[in-house]
Structure 1
C-alpha cells in the first residue's frame, strides 16, 4: 500500500483498525494483512480506541522532540495525554522532528494510535510483527525490496550470552544441544505467533542458537520507520525494538532452560563518557530511576533510550533524520563485533596447525560439526551486514540541506564512520568464513586419513586372523575327515566314496553362488513370478 493510500485516511484510531480489517478481508491483495488486522482488533475490542482514552505504557513508549538549538531529553510517554500535551506545547512549534521508541512487544492500541496520528502505513507494523503470520496462513512473507527501504528498514541485532556451570552439559553432546535449541525455539515461536499471553513491553526473540557449552546468542529485530517530507515539518521516526523487559521476567524461553544463563553487556561507544563523571550523573543518574534493574538477562539494547542523543549534534539531528538514529547503528556495530570476537575464539580452538594437540577421528568429526554450525551462522550475519551497509549508503549519503558547513562536516564524518565500521565487520566475517572453509577442508582430509588408517588396521587384523585360520582350518578338516564312520576306517557300513559324491555337488553350488551376479538374484523372484503367471493364464 502506498504511504497515502485510501486506507490511511482514517478519522480515528478505531477507524484505522476498521479500514485495515476491511482491506484485509475484501481486497485480493489484503490477505497478508489479516494477521495484523486480527491482532489489532482482538487486542483492542475490550477497550475504547479513542484519542481521549489513556493507557499506561509502563515506560515502554519514549519520546524525543528534536530541536536545532538545544539538546532535548528522551522522556517516557505514560499515556496518550502525555503525547498530546507535548505536541500541543509552545516548544513544539520550534520542533524539527520527533523520535519515538516502542520497547518490546508493542501495544495494539499504541500501534493504532500512532498509525492514525502520523499516517503510518500498516505495512510497517506488519513487517515488524511478521511472527503473527507463522500460524497456518498459507502464504510467504514479502521480501523487503531496496526501494521499500526509503521509509522503513530492519536491523537484526545479536546479543551474546553464556553459562558459568559447564557440568550441567556433561550428559549432552553439542549436536544434541543444537537440536534442543531448535526444538525449543519452535515452541517459543508458536506461542509468540498466537500472542495470547504477551503484554506490552515483553522482550521478543527471533533466533536463539547454542554455539557450544559456554556461549549462546539471541537475535532481535529493530524496525525503523522514517518519514520526512521536505515541504512538511516536522519529520517522524518511530523505532520498534524487540528489546523490552528483562528476558528472565516473563515468557521464559529456551535460554533459561539451563542454570546461570546470563547475557553479556554490549558497550555502546568507545567508553570516553566513563572519564566524565559529572556528565554521567547528569545524563544517566540512578539506573533504577529509568526502570533499569540489574538482572542476569538484561540487555544493553533495552537501555539505549537512556541518555539518547546526548553525544549527537542537535542541528545535525534537526536537519538529517537519519543522523538522529546514528546511535542505534553504533549499538548494532558493537554487538556485531562482540559476536565476531566469540566466533573468532571458537574457530581458533578448532583450527588445525603444527601446534595443535593430536586428535583422533571423533575429535575431528566434532570440530567439523562445530565449524559447519559457525559457517551457517556467519552466512546469516553476512546478509544482515550487507543490508545495513546498503541502508547507510542510501540514507547517509543523501543531499540533506544543512544550515552551515560545520553541521554538514559533522554528519558526513558520522556517516563515513558507520560505513567504515560495517565494512570492517563485513570483511572480518568474510575472513572468518575463509578460515572455516580452509579448516573444514583440512579436517575432512584428516578424517579421511584417520578412516583410511582405521581400515588398514582392520585389514591387518583380518590378515592375521586369515594366517591363523589357514593353519588351523586344514587341521580341523583332517581331524574331522578321519573321525568319520566309513568302512575303510573300520567304523561303519558306508564307503568313503559317499563323502566325495555328496561334497562335490555342494562345492560346485557354493562356487556358483559366490560368483553369480547379485542383480540376477534380486530379479529371480520377479522372473519366477512372471513364469507362474504365464502358466496360470495358459491353464
Structure 2
C-alpha cells in the first residue's frame, strides 16, 4: 500500500533529504551526491532559520523569477517576481500544464531555496536538474557530473562566455598569478553567493587587459503526454550586476580600481533587418541607485526579450522554438570568443615569426588551447542535442498541421527529406532550427581549427627551443674541446716545470743543464698529444700495422 504525500515545497525538500541519507553500504542507489542540495533546500524549514524574504526590492534590478505564458489563441502573458516572499503568490496561481499552452519559468541569478522548492513541487521537477545546476554546493566531488545522455533527456546546460576588458593593463607575472588563482577565486565566490547574485562558473585571463567569465543556462522541460503543451524551467546564472555580487568590488575579476570596473563586451546577435525594427525599451537599466558604474551584461535581458509568439503554432510542439533566442545568443557569444582568441593566437604567431617571442609565448598558447578545448566540449554537447531533436521531451514526432501541409508541396518534401535521421525520421523541418545546427557546426569547426593551430605553433616553439638548446650545447662542447686540448699540453709542462723548478746551471741555481728539461718535456708532450688524438691515431696506426705485417709476411715467403 502506497501513501500519497501531497506535493508541497516542504515535502519536496524532505524527499530529497531522505534520498541523501541513503548510504552506499545500505542501498545500491546511494544518495550521497544529494547531500549538498538537500542541506540547501531544507534551510527554510530549519528551526534556527532566519527569514530571508525581501519585501522591498530595487525595481531597476532583474527579478528573481520571470514567467511567460502563451495560451491557445496566441495570447502571451508575463509575470515577474522580485522577492522571495512572492513564492506564496506563485503557489496560489502557477502556470498550468494544459493543452495548447507554453510556459517559460525563468530563474535569474543564484536561486533561493524557497523558489526551488515551490517550482520543484509544482511541476515535480527531477532534483537532478537542480543538483547539476548547483553542483558547487557539494563538499565532495563524486565524479558523477558527466552523466549518460539517457539520464538527462529532460535537461540541457548551455555555457555563456562574456568577454571583459580591464581599465588597467597587467604585467605577465600578474597574469600568470591570476591564472593560477582563478579556480580558488571562483570557489570562494560561489561559497559567498546570495539570492539573486550572478554566478560565475569560470574565470579566465587571456591578456593584460582581456579576461572572460563563463556562466551557465540550465534548461528543464516538462511536457504533457499529448505533446501539445509544455513548461520549460530555465536557471540562468545571470542575475544582479557583477559588482553587486559576493565580495563586491574586491572580486578578482573586478580589478584593483573600484571607480573603474571592467567593461563587458555586449553579445551581438545578428538579426536580419534588426536596425529597421522598432526598438524595445527594457525594464532594467545599467546603473545602480547611486549612479555608480556597473559591470553590465546585456545577456541578462534575455528573459525579458524572449517572445513566445515568434514560433507560431509550432511552439506548442517544439520547445526549441521558444528557446531559439537562447541558442542564438550562446552561438553569438561563442563566435565572439573564438574571434578574440584567434586574434591573440595570431599575435603570438606574429611575434614568433619576427623572432620577438617572449618566454611567456609557450605558456599563453597552452592556456589558449586548454580554454578552446573546454569550449569544444560544450559545442559538441549542444550540437549533439540539436542534431537529435527527436527526443520526445523536447520535440515529439507529432508535427503541427502547418508542417504537415508543407509536406504536400515539392518544396516541403525537399525540406522534409533533407533533414532526416539515419532511421528515416524527420527531425528538423523548421528552417530556424536547421540554421542553428549549421551555426553550431561552423563554430565547432572554427574551434577545432584554432585548437590545432595552437598545437602546431606550440610544437614549433618547442622545436625552436630544442634547437636553441642544441646550439648552446654545441658551443659549450666546442669550448670544452679547446679547454681539453689546452689541458693536454699544459699538464705535462706543469709537471715537468714543477719537477725541475729553476735549478739549472745556466741560471746559477743548480748543477743540471737546461737541455735536460727539454729532453724530458718533449717526450711528455708527444705522449700527451698521442693520448689526446688517440681516437684519430688508432685507426691509422692499426691500418699501418696491418699493412706492415702483410708486407713482412709476403717478403718472408
Q: TM-score, normalised by structure 2?
A: 0.74
Question: Among 462, 465, 471, which residue is 1:444 paired with?
Answer: 462
Q: Tell whether the 8 Å contact from 1:66 to 1:98 is kept in structure 2 after alignment.
A: yes
Name the structure 2 match of 1:131. 136
Separation in 2, partners of 1:26, 1:7: 20
Q: Does 1:21 align with 2:14?
A: no
Name the structure 2 match of 1:100. 105
CA positional deviation for 1:420: 0.4
Q: Tell whether the 8 Å contact from 2:222 to 2:231 is kept in structure 1 after alignment.
A: yes
CA positional deviation for 1:18: 1.6
1:220 aligned counterpart, secondary structure: strand
Name the structure 2 match of 1:210. 205
Separation in 1, partners of 2:49, 2:491: 99
Q: Tell whether the 8 Å contact from 2:379 to 2:440 is kept in structure 1 after alignment.
A: yes
Question: Among 419, 424, 427, which residue is 2:442 paired with?
Answer: 424
Q: Which string of whole-angstrom CA distances, capped at 9 and with x for unpartnered residues, describes residues 136-185 of structure 1?
A: x363234221112310111122111122322xx23x43xx5234333243
1:420 aligned counterpart, secondary structure: helix
* Structure-to-structure mapping, 1:108-187, within 5 angstroms: 108-133=113-138, 135=139, 137=140, 139-166=142-169, 169-170=170-171, 172-173=172-173, 177-187=175-185
Name the structure 1 match of 2:273. 272
Question: Among 498, 505, 518, which residue is 1:481 paired with?
Answer: 498
Q: Tell whether the 8 Å contact from 2:108 to 2:239 is kept in structure 1 after alignment.
A: yes
Q: 1:54 to 1:191 in 2, by over 3 A?
A: closer
Q: Which string of whole-angstrom CA distances, capped at 9 and with x for unpartnered residues, describes residues 487-539 of structure 1?
A: 9887699xx99xxxxxxxxxxxxxxxxxxxxxxxxxxxxxxxxxxxxxxxxxx
C-alpha RMSD of the superposition: 4.3
CA positional deviation for 1:49: 12
Q: Tell whether the 8 Å contact from 2:308 to 2:315 is kept in structure 1 after alignment.
A: no
CA positional deviation for 1:403: 3.3
Q: Does 1:66 align with 2:70?
A: yes
Question: Among 367, 384, 387, which residue is 1:373 paired with?
Answer: 367
Q: Tell whether the 8 Å contact from 2:228 to 2:316 is kept in structure 1 after alignment.
A: no
CA positional deviation for 1:478: 8.4
Q: 1:214 to 1:142 in 2, by over 3 A?
A: closer
Q: TM-score, normalised by structure 1?
A: 0.76
CA positional deviation for 1:117: 0.7
Q: Which string of whole-angstrom CA distances, capped at 9 and with x for unpartnered residues, describes residues 257-286 of structure 1?
A: 444422211123436333223x424xx367
Q: 1:181 to 1:371 in 2, by over 3 A?
A: closer
CA positional deviation for 1:30: 1.4
Q: Which string of whole-angstrom CA distances, capped at 9 and with x for unpartnered residues, describes residues 102-134 of structure 1?
A: 01111001111111111112111111111111x
Separation in 2, partners of 1:366, 1:8: 64
The higher-RCO structure (CA 8 Å, 6+ apart) is 1
Separation in 1, partners of 2:48, 2:503: 106
Q: Tell whether the 8 Å contact from 2:70 to 2:308 is kept in structure 1 after alignment.
A: no
CA positional deviation for 1:461: 5.0
Q: Where does structure 1 lack aligned partners over 5 or more consecutive residues?
A: 1-5, 498-539
Q: Tell whether the 8 Å contact from 1:330 to 1:418 is kept in structure 2 after alignment.
A: yes
Please tell me whether Structure 1 or Structure 2 has the larger radius of gyration of its CA atoms: 2
Q: Where does structure 2 lack aligned partners over 5 or more consecutive residues?
A: 58-62, 407-411, 413-427, 517-557
Q: Which string of whole-angstrom CA distances, capped at 9 and with x for unpartnered residues, describes residues 378-402 of structure 1?
A: 1111111110011112236642431
Separation in 1, partners of 2:358, 2:95: 67
CA positional deviation for 1:226: 0.6
Q: How many residues align?
A: 478
